[in-house]
Amino acid sequence: MINKYKINTGASVKDYNKVSDWLSFEIPNKIKISSGKVDIGQHISTTLALICSRELGIDINSIFVNKLNTDITPNEGITASSLSVPNSGTAIRSASIIFKKNFLDFAAKSLNLNINNINLEDGVAKDPNSNASISFWDFSKAEEFLKLSIPEIIEIEDQKNFDHSSHVETKFINSIVKGEYKFLHDLRFDDMLHARIVRPPSYFHKFLSINNAIHKYLKDHNLKLYIKNSFIAVLGNDEFEVIKSLNRIKNSIEWEQVNKLANDKIFNLIDQNSKDSLIVKRGGEAFRENIPEIKSYNNVDHKTLTSEFNKPYLMHGSIGPSASCSFYKNGKFIIYSHSQAIYALKSILSNAFNLNEKNITLHFMPGAGCYGHNGADDVTYEAALLSKEFENKYILLKWTREDENCWEPYGSASKNKLTATLDKNNKIIYWSSEAYSDTYLTRPMVGKLEYFVSQRFINNDFKKYKVEPRTGAHMGIHRNLDPIYNFKETRLVKNLVHDLPLRTSALRTLGAFANTTATETFMDDLCIEANIDPFEFRINHLDDNRAIDLLNDLKIQMEKNKPSENGFRGIAFSRYKNSASYCAVGVELTVSDNVEVELKQAWISVDAGEVAFKEGIEAQVEGGFIQAASWSLYEQVNFDNNEILSKDWDGYKIIEFDNIPLINTSVINRVGFPYLGVGEAVAGPTGASISNALNRALGERIKSMPFSQENITKQLLG
């Protein structure tokens, strides 16, 4: 029996409610999908094609995803916050269902048949008793097709029988393994100029002068120098000559340092600096209200514990530095960008250059994985600016490794302070959790050109900008500050700390990595205090059956594998934003005599609603686990009063193949439930499960990431 259920067709359909906004049948026997979500390695193209393939019964190899271009593809906003499958996936699914339903009606009428007697195969409806047939492609030429609209709610049939175990080749893997996949960095146009920015030593260096001798060198090497106040770029036809000139140009410039980067250690600054403090209520919204004092329970029936967790600045650290290519002629821009926010960039550039939006086209072209707001937007703005100065030339601007490491907006350093009280039944009756951090939200926006890193140099305006705290549910700093557990009383406080030294913005999960790590490590401290199994302790504080099922699933998975010799295990769990995927993580690690942490085994249980692409979900959670393990064990941006010191991979260590555990992933398929975003769900539980395993190995909680040999030793020695 086929079950039917209703789904909401989602946010993207509100703006684009025609089937033809999403599906096109222009090429015989092929279907073209339009989506406004960019493929940044998360396999969204494959997932969307698979959703369409399943609904329409068309081979996935006959389905293509349109190349993203702001003139033709739907504006679905920024590709962020684990919303691509919930928004775009639901839209494609809905469009496919509406198309198929109307096609069958059309075919029945055209073939003069009862719908139940139609034989539909590969997009062709056949009358089994004659040779008469009609196809999707025929229907797409009919007037009715362009009129098809998608309602807010539609009925769908469940797909319990769909086999998710068979291998689906991702859309670009064949060209990737052959080295034929084209990244933005590979673009070539005739007479194109390569460009690099001549960066000052820090955010606070103003250009004073340049030694005139450099001009002969530039002329001899066919290079051009562009200087606007303190924004300086070098351009030339030969990329290597451009790169080679950088140090020589830098050495010929005199800068004035107008401010220091920092005057104290980051965690002291977080404590000392001025703050905007807001109350966060259950549900995750923040409010400007009086902050109550932390309650104290001073009696024999209660036990009160406290905890603190520190996270340093983390970088996105794309393997391929940010790049953009721009062409300007007769008041029109053609721009290639790998930004997650190409539609927003169109509006911003229109405003910045005083041009009508219709004169700006942004094409998305892949860059290296970015994991949030990295340098992709900055470099696009810089390339646009240069192309306007060098009209009628394609300008391919790439950041250097040092640019990428020192000038991208980092994931903020942060601090969490927690207090909780257990009653005599070992139930948490009071939970106070405070998050302290700089902003995670300086993505570019109209009227905020200062969010582009070069703007201060273009205008010689070195004032620090002040940001306002965001209050929406689970926005940056307070993402996942509201725990999913049913604590009787909570006190949740978000603190936006001002005047912190480094530039920050959205890095995968925003504040959720720190907040979930803080919550889940403290839950482990409390369960140890209560002497209760960590699964049982969490389940005792949960009402959500999906959360409970997930923890039970993780427990079963972990019991299947034998413990490693000298291995210690830790678990953690969260539901990202309390509204996206549920994810539970188990980790087993060893700690050597010289305090090096080796990850031995890992288990991930994930519930992302109805499964759209199982291998895609596995890749996202396993990749997210590895990235978050890298943050936890190795990463921190180092800087001193004058400059950022983590200039290259020697100065910013990330995880390598020598510390990748055996990962066992279990995907729970919730047929009939909405798609839930999965790209960020695993990070917080990963940080916490590593910390929890380490706590059990050392008998002491290490409060500050990264859990490097140096940091662990420092804390153990007091």
Partner 1 sequence: MSKTEYILNVNGKSKNIVSSEDKPLLYILRDDFKLTGTKLGCGLEQCGSCAVLVDGSKILSCNRPAIEFVDKEITTIEGISKNDVLNEIQQSFKEFNAAQCGYCTSGIIVSLTELFNKKETPGKKEIIESLSGQLCRCGSHASVLKAINNIIKLRNKND
Q: Which is nearer to partner 1, 35 or 519 (CB)?
A: 35
Q: Which is nearer to partner 1, 186 or 289 (CB)?
A: 186
Report, in Å, the least distance between residue 132 CB and partner 1.
41
Question: For the residues of 237-287, what is the DSSP string, one character each?
Answer: S-HHHHHHHHHHHHHTEEEEE-S-S-SS-HHHHHHHS-EEEEEE-TTS-EE
Distances from the Cα of 461 to the Cα of 332, 377, 442, 705, angstroms: 28, 20, 18, 34
Report, in Å, the least distance between residue 385 CB and partner 1.
23
Cis peptide bond N-terminal to 706, omega within 30: yes
Report, in Å, the least distance between residue 238 CB and partner 1.
8
Question: For the residues of 464-524, what is the DSSP string, one character each?
Answer: PP--PPP-STT-STTTTTS-SS--SEEEEEEEEE-S-SS-B--BTTTTHHHHHHHHHHHHH
Report, in Å, the least distance between residue 520 CB and partner 1.
20
593-595-596 Cα angle (round to 5): 110
Encoded tokens for 10: 């989602």
Q: Which is nearer to partner 1, 500 or 589 (CB)?
A: 589
Round to whole Å and give the CA distance between 462 and 464: 6
| Residue 211, phi then psi, degrees to nearest 5 | -70, 125
Report, in Å, the least distance between residue 689 CB and partner 1.
16
Report, in Å, the least distance between residue 325 CB and partner 1.
14
Q: Which is nearer to partner 1, 241 or 357 (CB)?
A: 241
| Residue ranges binding partner 1 (CB under 8 A) | 40-43, 167, 169-170, 172-174, 176-183, 185-186, 188, 220-222, 238-241, 243-244, 316-321, 366-369, 371, 398, 400-401, 615, 619, 622-627, 630, 648-650, 654-658, 660, 663
Class of residue 532 by CB neighbours under 10 A (exposed 0-12, middle 13-18, buried 19+): middle
Q: Which is nearer to partner 1, 6 or 167 (CB)?
A: 167
Q: Which is nearer to partner 1, 501 or 679 (CB)?
A: 679
Q: Which is nearer to partner 1, 168 or 671 (CB)?
A: 168
Q: Which is nearer to partner 1, 441 or 617 (CB)?
A: 617
| Residue 35, phi then psi, degrees to nearest 5 | -145, 150
Report, in Å, the least distance between residue 82 CB and partner 1.
15
Find the Cα–Cα–Cα–Cα dihedral 173, 179, 184, 187, rounded to 10°.
Answer: -140
Report, in Å, the least distance between residue 197 CB and partner 1.
15
Encoded tokens for 78: 């920024």
Helix axes of 376-389 and 342-352: crossing angle, nearest 10 degrees:
40
Round to whole Å and give the CA distance between 52 and 95: 9
Please give the DSSP secondary-structure letter assigned to residue 454: T
152-48-61 Cα angle (round to 5): 135
Report, in Å, the least distance between residue 656 CB and partner 1.
7
Class of residue 590 by CB neighbours under 10 A (exposed 0-12, middle 13-18, buried 19+): middle
Report, in Å, the least distance between residue 220 CB and partner 1.
6
Q: Which is nearer to partner 1, 187 or 595 (CB)?
A: 187
Token pair 């193209």 is found at 45
The closest of 235, 150, 231, 160 to 195, measured between CA atoms, is: 235
Report, in Å, the least distance between residue 236 CB and partner 1.
11
Report, in Å, the least distance between residue 658 CB and partner 1.
5
Q: Which is nearer to partner 1, 127 or 241 (CB)?
A: 241
Q: Which is nearer to partner 1, 385 or 602 (CB)?
A: 602
Q: Which is nearer to partner 1, 164 or 244 (CB)?
A: 244
Round to whole Å and give the CA distance between 225 and 208: 15
Asked whether the beta carbons of 564 and 600 are under 8 A apart, the reply is yes
